[in-house]
Amino acid sequence: MNHRLVVLTEIIAPYRIPVFNALAAHEGISLHVIFLSKTDASTRRWRVYEDEIRFSCEVLPSWRRRVGKCNLLLNNHVTSALSAAKPEVLICGGYNYVASWQALDWARRNRVQFLLWSESTAHDRRSQYFPVEWLKRKFLSNCDGFVVPGRSALEYVQQFASPAQKIFVARNAVDIELFAAKEESIRKAADRLRGELALPPRYFLFVGRLVRSKGVFDLIEAYRSLPSELRESISLVFAGDGPMRAELEALAREIYPGCVHFPGFVHRDELATYYALAECLVMPTHTDPWGLVVNEAMACGLPVICTNVAGCAADLIRENGILVASANVVQLADAMQKLATRPDLRRYMAAESMKLIQEYSPEACAAGFAQAAEWTGYN
């Protein structure tokens, strides 16, 4: 028996394509994905890898505008697209778009099982705003169930879910085979690639948007506080772009000895080189629903330093990394110094990363979605 599953989600993110491909190939699932927009150039500069798509999908007509910190996205033909797709089960990625509420209303009127795909955690700073929290609770109360990426999101949803609402875990994933394959070839050409990208012999790596909430100022301050002899031997690389870049570059010029590189935004295929040649990934975020860069780094065999508020921390940081408190520069610097001066520890953690990340494959994520579709299909 095939279960007709429709997923409504924002953009064609490169890390979601392998998951949807795996889900479309899952026995018993007939998948159609409705994207609200092809991409969001205002905050992300990802390439859209349409040639890799192996699932049925469509992109709705849309109008987008940034209003302060708000991302306003409006769509045409939401309900007509859902009616044409004829889902038995509808999984909606988020509650913060008008289309999400339209989909919820459509599902209620047409007696279609509706699940929210939620990455929110108790550390999500949006929960500090009463109107946002009120809307979220209202939306959640009307869902038949939930799909979450890991433990932190599961514990958060459990606070609001009723006994009748089922929760499924679809482990957040990236294409680990792609990153692992690139990592192996990159290490064989390490010297040449370092020269081509002007990368230092040793470096800590940050990957993400250069905004205050990612903890980027904590990271540069932690690097500044390292012993001078250590800064002479290891650099810091910010792979990303954003509104804080100029301010960070100004701070970096004041650090001596030491070297801080700003290569700008790096696309997925090139990013593997930055991971493979780094000493470790540092994710100093103040708030993040997950942090897929940690998955990517682990697939390339990197140790990870991560703050305890990241959504992925409860699942992905074990013996492969070090957890530090958010906004604690002293703890962050201590962790960086420990990894920089312990090659044996780095090797051990790197091996643990490679081992653990195998549990977070696109197929494992797809299995969680399939389980949700099959459960609702029988009820």
Strand stretches in 52-202, DSSP E: 56-59, 62-67, 70-75, 89-93, 113-117, 145-148, 166-169
Distance CA 160, CA 133 (A): 12
pLDDT at 110: 97
Query: What structural domains and CATH numbers belong to the chain?
Result: 3-173+361-377 (3.40.50.2000), 176-359 (3.40.50.2000)
- CB–CB of 25/371 below 8 Å? no
- CB–CB of 60/99 below 8 Å? yes
In order along the chain (379 residues), what is the average pLDDT of each group of 10 residues? Answer: 92 96 96 95 82 97 81 92 97 94 98 96 71 86 96 94 94 95 90 95 97 97 98 98 97 97 94 96 97 97 97 98 98 98 98 98 97 72
pLDDT at 129: 66
pLDDT digits 0-9 by tens, 258-311: 999 999 999 998 999 999 999 999 999 999 999 999 999 999 999 999 999 999
Non-local (6+) Cβ contacts of 89 within 8 A are 3, 4, 5, 6, 112, 113, 115, 372, 373, 376, 377
Please state the pTM of the whole predicted model.
0.95
Nearest to 117 by CA among 5, 4, 1, 2: 5
Strand stretches in the chain, DSSP E: 3-9, 29-35, 56-59, 62-67, 70-75, 89-93, 113-117, 145-148, 166-169, 203-207, 235-239, 260-261, 280-283, 304-307, 321-324
pLDDT at 133: 79
